[in-house]
Amino acid sequence: MIATPAILWSRFRRHYLDCPALGLGLDVSRVPFPDDFHAKMERPIRKALADMAALEKGAIANPDEQRMVGHYWLRNAGLAPSKDITKVIEGTLESIGAFATRIHRGDLAGAAGPFRNVLVIGIGGSALGPQFVAKALGHPRSDKLTPYFFDNTDPDGMDQVLALLEGRLGQTLAVVISKSGGTPETRNGMVEARASYERAGLNFAAHAVAITGEGSALHQTAVADGWLQTFPMWDWVGGRTSELSAVGLLPAALQGIDIHGLLAGARACDEATRNPVSRENPAAQLALMWYFLGEGRGSKDMVVLPYKDRLELLSKYLQQLVMESLGKELDLDGKVVHQGLAVYGNKGSTDQHAYVQQLRDGVANFFAVFIEVLKDREGSSIEVEAGATSGDFLSGFFLGTRSALYESGRPSLTLTVPDTSAFTIGVLIALFERAVGLYASLIHINAYHQPGVEAGKKAAAGVLGLQRKIVAHLAAQPGTAYTTEALASALGQPDAAETVFKICTHLAANGRGVRTVSGSGLSATFQAP
C-alpha cells in the first residue's frame, strides 16, 4: 500500500535512524512493515545480538570448520580473546605501515627504480574488497602506487592488464593474496605474472610479496624463492570479511589510502552496532528489513544503488559478502533450507538507463538499497544550467527514482553518508558485515563457511584430471580419430561424454593436444595433432 505524502513523512520521522557518530542515516520508511513488526521480532533480534556478542568474544561461530570468527578484532585488537591474537594483529598493522613507508620512500625499489604500480593477484575475498576500496578511495592524482588486478585465470584478461604494465614491470610490486595459498586461479595468476617478469629480464622474487596463511603452498614458495616479504592471514578471518586484515590494508596502504581512517570508521561502526537496542542499531535494522522484505527466505533480491561512481564496486563486493555468507543449503540443525539473498547493482544514475525500467514497471521481485552521498566533489562545482550543478542532477535522479519505485509499490531502504572518506568506507564495510552476521542468526544458518565454493573447486580439479587423460590417451594412439562417445568409452568414462566434448573442443580451439579431424560440433572426431 502506498502512503500519502503526509503519512510517508510521518513514517520517515518515526523510523529515520540518525547515527551522528558515524555520519550515517538509515531511512526504512519506504519498507511497508506493519506497526507491530519490531515488537514481534524483538526476541529473535535480541538473540542475534547475543550470538554476535559471543562471536566477538571468541566463541566457535563457524561450527562446520570449528573456527572462531574474528574480523571485528582487526579494528580493535584489544577485543581479541587472547594476548597472542592482539599482538599478531598489532604487529601486522605495524609491519604494513613500515613496509608501505619503505616502498613510498623508494628505500625498497624495483629493478627499474621506485615502485610506481601494484599488481594485486587474488580472487573472491582476496580481491573484491581490495578492488572496492581501491576504486572508492583512490585517485589518479594522489595514488602513490597505481593499482592493477588479476582476479581470474582468464589468460586474455591477464594479457590486458600486462599490456597496461608493458615496460613498467621493473617498477611494479606484485602482491599475491590467498588465505589458503592453494587457490588455482591465484596460483595461475602468480605463475603468469612471474613468467612476464622473467620475459622482461626481471627477478620476480625481488618484486613480490605474499599475503597468506603460515605454511601454505604460497607461503612456502615465497619463502623458498626469497620474495621481499610475507604478511599473515589467519584461520579466524574469513575471505569475504578480510578487507581490514593485511588482505585489504596492504594494497590500500601501498596505494596511499588512509588505512587508519578505514579502521577508525569500522571500529566506530562496530561500537554503534553493538547497541542492544535494535531500534537504535543500524545493522540490526538492516537485518530486520531484509528479513521482512524477503520473508526470512530471500524471496526478494537486493538491488544496491549507490549514487556515486566511487561506490560502483560496492554491489560486487556485497554480492560476495552477502551471497557467499547467506546462500546455504542447510541450517545450523542440518535441515534443508536453501537460504540466500540475491544481490546485484551498479550505480545511479547510470542504471536508470539500464535495468531500472524493469524495477519500476516489471516483475516486482526485489527491494532497493539506495546509497546517498551528500558531498558532491572536492572543491566547488560549475552550474550546468541555471541554479543546478551535475551533483544536483545526481541527487535529483536519486530522489526521483526512489519516488517512482515507491509509487509503483517497490520498497526501498536508503543509507545516507556524508562523503566517501576512508572513515565512511570503513563504516559501510563494518555495517554490512554485521548486518549479514545478524541476519544469519535470524535465519539460523552458518554465515562463515562456503561449502558450495569448495564443491566447485573439486569439480574443476576433476575436469583437469580428465583433460590430462584425454591428451595422454590420444598421444598414445597417434592417427586414431575418435568420436566424443568413443573417446569417453575408451577412457572408461562413458558418462562423461559431454565433458569430453567440451574439453576436446576447447583444446582444439587453442591448438593444444587435440585436433578436429572431421566434422564439426557434435559430429566432430578428434585425434592427437
Q: Which residues of this chain interact with ligand PA5, rule CB under 6 A? A: 123-126, 178-180, 183, 186, 238-240, 324, 450, 453
Among 56, 243, 324, 372, the active-site one is 324
For the bound state, the minimum distance from the C-beta of residue 252 to ligand PA5, rounded and expressed in Å, comes to 17
Alpha carbons 454 and 463: distance in angstroms, whole number: 15
Q: Burial of 177 by CB count in 10 Å (0-12 exposed, 13-18 middle, 19+ buried)?
A: buried
Q: Report the residue number, 38 or 457, with the smaller CB distance to ligand PA5.
A: 457
| β 113-114/482-483 pair status | unpaired
Smaller CB separation from ligand PA5, 48 or 436: 436
CB of 441 to ligand PA5, least distance (A): 19
324 labelled catalytic? yes
| Least distance from ligand PA5 to the Cβ atom of residue 211, Å | 9
**Catalytic hit among 104, 260, 457, 473:** 457
Q: Which residues face 413 on adjacent strands?
A: 369
Q: Cell 593474496 identifies what position?
A: 177
Please identify the residue of the shown chain whose CB is closest to the bound ligand PA5: 239
Give me the least distance between CB of 336 and ligand PA5, in Å please.
23
User: Is 353 an annotated catalytic residue?
Assistant: yes
Q: Which three cell numbers stand for residue 255?
A: 596505494
Q: Which is nearer to ligand PA5, 125 or 282 (CB)?
A: 125
Three-state SS for 378? Answer: coil
144 counts as catalytic: no
What backbone torsions phi and psi does residue 273 show, to the nearest 5 degrees? -95, 5
Catalytic residue among 335, 353, 378, 458, which?
A: 353
Which residues have C-beta within 8 Å of that of residue 357, sequence separation ≥ 6? none
Q: Which is nearer to ligand PA5, 362 or 451 (CB)?
A: 451
Please state at what angle helix 422-442 crosses helix 37-56, rounded to 10 degrees.
110
Give the whole-angstrom CA distance, residue 296 versus residue 504.
Answer: 45
Kindly tell me which of 110 and 327 has the beta carbon lying closer to ligand PA5: 327
**DSSP per-residue letters across 134-179:** HHHH--TTT-SSEEEEE-S--HHHHHHHHHHTTT-GGGEEEEEEES
Shortest spacing between CB 423 and ligand PA5, in angstroms: 25
DSSP annotation of 388: B
Nearer to ligand PA5, 212 or 483 (CB): 212
* Minimum separation from the CB atom of position 402 to ligand PA5 (A): 32
Give yes or no for a contact between 412 and 369, defined as CB atoms under 8 angstroms apart: yes
**Local structure of residue 25 (DSSP, 8 states):** E
Do 493 and 466 touch, CB atoms closer than 8 A?
A: yes
Terminal Cα distance for the chain, rounded: 67
Residue 243 to residue 247: CA distance in whole angstroms: 6
Q: Which lies closer to ligand PA5 via its Cβ, residue 70 or residue 125?
A: 125
Angle between helices 422-442 and 259-272 (to 10 degrees): 40
Name the minimum Å distance from CB 183 to ligand PA5.
3
What one-character DSSP code corresponds to residue 181?
S
Active site amino acids:
324, 353, 457
